[in-house]
Amino acid sequence: MLNAILEYSFLQNAILAGLLSSIICGVIGVIIVEKKLLMMGGGIAHTAYGGVGLGYLLGFEPVLGAGAFSVAAALLIGFIRRKNSGYTDVIISLLWSLGMALGIAFVGLMPGYPPDINSYLFGNILSVTKGDIYIILSITAVVLFSIMAFFNDWKAFLFDSRFSEIAGLKTNFLEYFLLVTVALSVVALIRVVGIILAIALLSAPAACAGLLVKSLKNRMVVASVLSFVFCFAGLSVSYYLSIPSGAAIVFVAVLTYFILLALNKIKGSN
């Protein structure tokens, strides 16, 4: 495997994409898990499929379409949440389905044979290009800087946003920024594990870290490391067993979580 990494540039790209997206998964994943925004993350991720389809139909980069759709979905969900109307879950579910439906419809409207867009649904880390790396790198830089620079503000907001609002913290800004960051994270993960599996890579490392360490900062660090381990181990499994890389990464991540959970339960009962 190591020889292959040194030999093939597509494997080097895959490792780099895995490393960068692991940082995103570690940081944003912990926030999503702790703030219990997994359903929302799933909604935003699946809405992105509409953008992928539109990109194919109109002939522009599908990842940009995915970004535009997921950011729009994030802003809409944020707006509905702020209104506190009680419809948030319904809206998320509808956006989830609508995004997928639009993607299928847009691809269906294309003349001739439809393109294979499975790699956007299930990811293909081995097909990551230099251009994808730049996109993932930019998103990682934005995510990392914004979380590190305002770490204490984030912590206060995530713990109790109402108290923070009374204290005068800019909770409106933080909420919308968080949702947009989730949307961008999904875009970064599309090439690695795909729209459908992105939520697994956002949640599994963070959930594993939650079983291993206590503080928020340590959870982000451990989740990032675990995420990279899952990507690398998944790639290895994919390489040796000739199964799709996105699926292999998710298998490793989910299996590790259940093993850690079982160990945790055994430890707790002793």
Partner 1 sequence: MNSAISVKNLSVSYKGVEAINDISLEINKGEFVCIIGPNGGGKTTFLNAVLGFLKPNCGGIEIFGGNIKKARSVMSYVPQTAVIDRSFPITVIETVMTAFLRSGLHPFKLYKKAERERALTVLQKVGLDSLAQRQISELSGGEFQRLLIARALAANPQILLLDEPTANIDAASADKIFEILAEINLSGVTVVTVTHDLSVAVSAASRLVCINRELVYCGSPELTDEIIKAMYGRQINLNGGYTDA
* 4 contributes a contact to partner 1 by CB under 8 A: no
The residue range among 8-16, 53-61, 162-170, 237-245 that interacts with partner 1, by the rule CB under 8 A, is 162-170
* 162 contributes a contact to partner 1 by CB under 8 A: yes
CB of 216 to partner 1, least distance (A): 5
Q: Which of 158, 211, 237, 254 binds partner 1 (CB under 8 A)?
A: 158
- String of contacts with partner 1 for each residue 85-104, x by CB under 8 A: xx------------------
141-149 long-range contacts, Cβ below 8 Å, gap at least 24? 142/181, 142/184, 143/23, 143/24, 143/27, 143/28, 143/181, 143/184, 143/185, 144/23, 144/27, 146/177, 146/181, 147/27, 147/31, 147/220
CB of 28 to partner 1, least distance (A): 15
CB of 88 to partner 1, least distance (A): 13
Q: Which of 8, 79, 159, 240 binds partner 1 (CB under 8 A)?
A: 159
CA distances from 123 to 23, 161, 196 (A): 18, 35, 9
Distance, in Å, from the CA atom of 205 to the CA atom of 202, rounded to the nearest integer, reads: 7
Report how many residues bind partner 1 under the rule CB under 8 A. Answer: 31
Of 60, 131, 54, the closest CA to residue 99 belongs to 54
Q: Which of 2, 3, 9, 36 binds partner 1 (CB under 8 A)?
A: 36
Q: Which of 39, 170, 211, 221 binds partner 1 (CB under 8 A)?
A: 170
Distance, in Å, from the CA atom of 95 to the CA atom of 42, rounded to the nearest integer, reads: 10
- String of contacts with partner 1 for each residue 111-150, x by CB under 8 A: --------------------------------------xx
* 79 contributes a contact to partner 1 by CB under 8 A: no
Task: Return the structure tokens found at 12.
Answer: 């080097």
Site for partner 1 in 209-228 (CB under 8 A): 210, 214-216, 219
* 39 contributes a contact to partner 1 by CB under 8 A: no
Q: Which of 153, 175, 211, 236 binds partner 1 (CB under 8 A)?
A: 153
DSSP sequence for 20-39:
HHHHHHHHHHHHHHHTT-HH
Task: Return the structure tokens found at 58.
Answer: 């109109």
Of 9, 20, 5, 7, the closest CA to residue 239 belongs to 5
| Region for residue 57 given its phi and psi (left: phi exceeds 0; alpha: psi -120 to 50; beta: otherwise) | alpha
How many CB atoms lie under 10 A from the CB of residue 174?
Answer: 20
Q: Which is nearer to partner 1, 13 or 171 (CB)?
A: 171
List residues near partner 1 by CB under 8 A: 34, 36, 84-86, 149-153, 155-156, 158-160, 162-170, 173-174, 210, 214-216, 219
